[in-house]
């Protein structure tokens, strides 16, 4: 496991789940909490299925995928639990409606990092040094 939105498969493949973004390493405690949430949803050693969308890899060479553990869409579970925020990068939008609904519900219920204003500085804003 690299962080809350990137992991390695047993064969060494580096995977970036599509559709959400989690706190960056420099965001300290919330970064750790998001990484642990991904571990709880899809732990090291779990078997997952990678579903491709339009684009195979990102600019860093990571495999872009919708990640399934049994019948759980891991991407959606991270957003629904309040551990990630929606990050839509067309054309990879197959399940974006599901993620939008998950984020709306998580935010309204104060799930995960929403409970502590953990997304007051979104990961994208943090990377731009906007906060």
CATH of the domain at 76: 2.40.50.90
Is position 86 within any domain? yes
Task: Write the pLDDT tens digit of every residue in 85-123.
Answer: 999 999 999 999 999 999 999 999 999 999 999 999 999
Instruction: Judge if the upstream peptide bond of residue 91 is cis by omega within 30 degrees of 0.
Output: yes
Is position 1 within any domain? no
Structural domain that includes position 47: 7-127
Q: What share of the chain is helix, strand, coil (3-state, %, to 5)?
A: 35, 20, 45
Looking at every residue in the chain, the average pLDDT score rounds to 94
Is position 2 within any domain? no
Q: What is the dihedral of CA 100, 103, 108, 113, to 10 degrees?
A: -170
Task: Write the pLDDT tens digit of every residue in 48-95.
Answer: 999 999 999 999 999 999 999 999 999 999 999 999 999 999 999 999
Specify burial of residue 89 (Cβ count, 10 A radius: 0-12, 13-18, 19+).
Answer: middle
Number of separate domains in the chain? 1
- Rounded CA gap, 4 and 24, in Å? 8
């Amino acid at each position: 496991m690299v962080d809350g939105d990137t992991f390695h498969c047993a064969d060494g493949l580096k995977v970036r789940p599509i559709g959400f973004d989690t706190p960056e390493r420099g965001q300290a405690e919330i970064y750790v909490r998001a990484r642990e949430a991904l571990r709880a949803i899809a732990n090291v050693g779990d078997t997952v299925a990678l579903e491709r969308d339009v684009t195979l890899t990102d600019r860093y060479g990571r495999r872009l995928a919708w990640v399934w553990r049994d019948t759980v869409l891991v991407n959606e579970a991270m957003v629904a639990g309040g551990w990630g925020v929606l990050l839509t990068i067309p054309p990879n939008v197959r399940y974006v409606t599901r993620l939008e609904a998950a984020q709306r519900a998580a935010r309204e219920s104060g799930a995960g990092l929403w409970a502590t204003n953990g997304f007051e500085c979104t990961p994208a804003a943090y990377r731009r040094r906007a906060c």
